[in-house]
């Protein structure tokens, strides 16, 4: 997955906005104002951080060499994913989806209604 594909996929998720809240190199993706993914524009290969259930985060780090504790993030809840070709884009997208879904679940009922995500 390259940076354009990562950006396109994140922006395809409902309610997603992109911004540079930290500096001009760190692209952040938020749903309803809450961060679920970020990447450094200069990283080669592409690396991005996603939110993750703490138990699942440990499992992924043990199973995949490209999954590391979240760089500059809470290591219990964030992973850094290195797009080094060891996993395919389908799996990378599943990890982005998991992060997005975790954040959506944490939104208020009103925010989820705005997204059309209320059960």
The CATH number covering residue 18 comes to: 3.90.1150.30
pTM score of the predicted model:
0.93
pLDDT at res. 119: 53
Number of domains in the chain: 1
CA distance 103 to 98: 9
Q: What is the pLDDT along the chain (119 residues), one digit of tens a residue?
A: 999 999 999 999 999 999 999 999 999 999 999 999 999 999 999 999 999 999 999 999 999 999 999 988 888 899 999 999 999 999 999 999 999 999 999 999 999 998 886 55
Strand stretches in the chain, DSSP E:
16-19, 26-31, 34-40, 47-51, 67-69, 78-82
CA distance 75 to 36: 14
pLDDT at res. 96: 98
pLDDT at res. 47: 96
List the domain range (segments joined by +) for residue 74. Answer: 3-115
pLDDT at res. 116: 84
Of residues 70, 73, 90, 97, the one with CA closest to residue 81:
70
């Amino acid at each position: 997955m390259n940076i354009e594909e990562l950006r396109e996929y994140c922006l395809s998720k409902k309610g997603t906005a992109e911004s540079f809240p930290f500096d001009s190199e760190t692209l952040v993706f938020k749903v309803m104002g809450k961060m679920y993914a970020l990447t450094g524009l200069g990283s080669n290969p592409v690396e991005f951080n996603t939110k993750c259930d703490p138990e699942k985060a440990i499992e992924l780090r043990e199973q995949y060499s490209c999954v590391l504790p979240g760089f500059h993030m809470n290591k219990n809840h964030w992973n850094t994913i290195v797009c080094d070709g060891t996993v395919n884009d389908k799996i990378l997208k599943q990890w982005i989806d998991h992060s997005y879904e975790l954040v959506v679940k944490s939104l208020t009922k009103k925010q989820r209604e705005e997204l059309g995500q209320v059960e």
